[in-house]
Amino acid sequence: MLPESQEPRTSAGRTALIGEICEILAGKGHPVLSKQAIANLVSDGMPAAVRGRFDVDACTSWYIARLRTSTKRKETETGEGQTISFDTELTRLTKAKADNEEMTAAERNGTVIHIRDYEMEVSKWAQVTKSNLLNLPGRLAQRMFDLTAGEQKALIVAAAKAAMIDTTKIHVVGELPTPSRKRRQAKA
């Protein structure tokens, strides 16, 4: 067995273990590629290891060609060896910024509300509905003694419908004050 300092040579050139090829392909002063990145590169066509060793010259040539092609296509590579297109990422970023601007403008115009405001309004509606329904027995109890079963049922249904109609008169979420209305109200 050869000492670590004397690497075996093949007819193709110098060979390296996976850890070494991670460092060699990354280049001096750059973060070392991961073993997963090397596996991804091999699956993309980089010359595979023979008996656990990579042909440094073949792998380096293949990797340089890949980088040149990526540069022509305006692509870059993640630390895991996956290719990302600059144009695709720029499009994604532009769309995200536009979506953010639309949401901000919609919020300013009052067409979109914060979830906390919505939750507060729904909570109010639920409390009024609960209160209206829980008050039914007390309101109806005295009136039900002399009624038949059918009349009692009709009275309960009518009272429940009336209670539900009352809940529709609660402040509607779509009528929440917009920031501009809040400012006008504050100035008044």
Residue-wise pLDDT for 103-117, tens only, equals 888 888 878 888 888
> What is the predicted pLDDT for the residue at 168?
67
pLDDT grade for 78, boundaries at 50, 70 and 90: low
Among 23, 26, 27, 62, which Cα is nearest to 42's? 62
- pTM for this one? 0.36
The enclosing H or E element of 186 equals: helix 179-187
In which residue are the tokens 């509300």 written? Answer: 113
| DSSP label at residue 81 | S
Dist CA 44 CA 61 (whole Å): 14
Domain boundary assignment for the chain: 9-81, 85-112, 115-187
